Amino acid sequence: MIIFEIPAIKKKFRVNRYALIIGSIAPDLIDKTFLLLNLFSGRGFAHTLLFTLVSFSILFLITKGNKSISFPYLIGVIIHLILDLPAIPLFYPFVSYDFYDYDPIEVSIWFWIYQLLTDPIVITTEITGIMIFIFIVINNKLYSVREISNYLKTNEVLPNKEKNNIK
């Protein structure tokens, strides 16, 4: 999302920020849900190109081809996968990944929390994400939930509202 905060890009591209945010967290929403249920690590499902293509296609069909929703979602998922490289099974189930063969009991929410608190790379990426969020809030003076909500709506393509504003 920070890419779309660069002034030159922000002026040139109108992006549905809600769809971008949902896309950027979708793999982890699924991954962490499976972890919380203590079933298995959802990374083998939600952190793959197959998931990306299937979820994008479903969203594209549900929104009846609305590119202003489906493409920002796709961009969000792709950026998420890029940031999680190389520790994701990107081409699963078509390619086998040795590092992914975890015991479901070992890969639990407690394992994830332990990594969150002890792995320097995970700590760095989480702090970076928080800092980016704080930068966006301060840079755009978003000091209430209402202002954040309005900000997220501001840059999306809404043809009906645009036509009304032009008249």
The pLDDT tens digits of the residues spanning 81-100 come to 888 777 777 787 777 776 55
Cα-based torsion angle of the residue sequence 133, 134, 138, 142 in order, rounded to the nearest 10 degrees: 60
pLDDT in tens, 138-164: 877 878 888 877 777 655 444 444 444
Its pTM stands at: 0.68
More confident residue, 141 or 44: 141
Q: Is the CB of residue 88 less than 8 Å from the CB of residue 59? A: no
Q: Residue 105: is its pLDDT beyond 60? A: no
Report the C-alpha gap between 105 and 125 in whole angstroms: 25
Instruction: Categorize the per-residue pLDDT at 2 as very low, low, confident or very high, splitting at 50, 70 and 90.
Output: low
pLDDT of residue 79: 86
Q: Residue 106: is its pLDDT beyond 70? A: no
Residue 79's Cβ-side half-sphere holds a number of Cα atoms within 13 Å equal to 18
Report the C-alpha gap between 110 and 30 in whole angstroms: 17
Residue 138's Cβ-side half-sphere holds a number of Cα atoms within 13 Å equal to 6
Instruction: Categorize the per-residue pLDDT at 56 as very low, low, confident or very high, splitting at 50, 70 and 90.
Output: very high
